[in-house]
Amino acid sequence: MPILSFSGPLRLLFDPPADGAWNMALDELLLDEAATTGQATLRFYAWSEPTLSLGYFQNAGDRAAHAASLNCPLVRRASGGGAIVHDAELTYSLALPERADAGVPAGNAALYDLLHETLIAALREWNVTASRLVKAAGALPQAPGSGAAEPFLCFMRRAAGDVLCDGAKVGGSAQRRRRGAVLQHGSVLLRASAAAPELAGLAELCGVEIDRGGLAEAWAGGLLKQGLGPMQHTPLSSEMLSAAMSLSQAKYRSAAWNERRL
């Protein structure tokens, strides 16, 4: 596995729960910052209420088929993949300048591997045995007569590199590239959500309650051991916070962005 390196310390953020528009706006700005200044950021965060995020290419009208999440706020991600119900989970994002992943194979599969292998190692601290799906296995079985090419929810799909526990997907990631930088963000299902009752989390699968903050700390520590660092707890500037607020209002709270049909 390639060891990633970059100039200057990696900014480490442990953010309090926030709404979907804020979370997606900040991830986008961290990607832009990585491209323009070379600043790398590892961010762990959560959601202030159960929220449905659509993949960039998903049709907003498709959410009507998932009754359990119809009352959830909607936000569209800048990354692809299936819809995610963000609730009882840990979410992360990693924004890196292009030069940070020099030597990583095309498609940045090694970046997925780095994040997912260190997640698996972190979960061992709670005696959880997880593994990475080495070969893509297609979508999980669908209900008869569904007629859909693939499931609406990301965690009902399978892709190489996904983190599995007892045969169920508990961790997945997606990427977005822009102007010489890459953003990878993803989720870990800690418990089942009433807004996605078909998905089991680690609590149901393994019988263990994992603290979100504790897992974030263990995961960051594992990444540091693998060479993703040095890390520094650096608060965001007032300018970055103001820009995130503006972007969240102008784009991620906009029906033109969230509800478009592709």
The ranges assigned to domains in the chain are 10-256
**pLDDT for res 71:** 97
Residue 134: which pLDDT band, with cuts at 50, 70 and 90? confident
pTM, full prediction: 0.91
**pLDDT for res 145:** 39
Write a three-state SS string for the chain.
CCCCCCCCCEEEEECCCECHHHHHHHHHHHHHHHHHHCCCEEEEECECCCEEEECCCCCHHHHHHCHHHCCCCEEECCCCCCEEEECCEEEEEEEEEHHHHCCCCHHHHHHHHHHHHHHHHHHHHHCCCCEECCCCCCCCCCCCCCCCCCCCEHHHCCCCCCEEECCEEEEEEEEEEECCEEEEEEEEECCCECCECCCCCHHHHHCCCCCHHHHHHHHHHHHHHCCCCCEECCCCCHHHHHHHHHHHHHHHCCHHHHCCCC
User: What CATH architecture does domain 10-256 belong to?
Assistant: 2-Layer Sandwich (3.30)
pLDDT at 18 over 80: yes
Angle, alpha carbons 233-238-242 (nearest 5°): 120
**pLDDT for res 183:** 96
Gap between the Cα atoms of 157 and 259, Å rounded = 22
Q: Is 154 a catalytic residue?
A: yes
**How do residues 27-86 score in pLDDT, each as one tens digit?**
999 999 999 999 999 999 999 999 999 999 999 999 999 999 999 999 999 999 999 999
Residue 149: which pLDDT band, with cuts at 50, 70 and 90? confident
**pLDDT for res 178:** 86
Calculate mean pLDDT across residues 119-132.
Answer: 97
Lowest model confidence (mean pLDDT) among 136-150, 183-197, 220-234? 136-150
Active-site residue, from 72, 154, 165, 206:
154
User: In 3D, which of 224, 229, 226 has the Cα closest to residue 8?
Assistant: 229
Calculate mean pLDDT across residues 230-247.
Answer: 97
pLDDT at 135 over 80: no
Residue 194: which pLDDT band, with cuts at 50, 70 and 90? very high
Calculate mean pLDDT across residues 11-28.
Answer: 98
**pLDDT for res 25:** 98
Calculate mean pLDDT across residues 170-182.
Answer: 92
**pLDDT for res 5:** 56
Calculate mean pLDDT across residues 189-210.
Answer: 98
Record the tokens describing residue 79, joined without a space: 């990354």
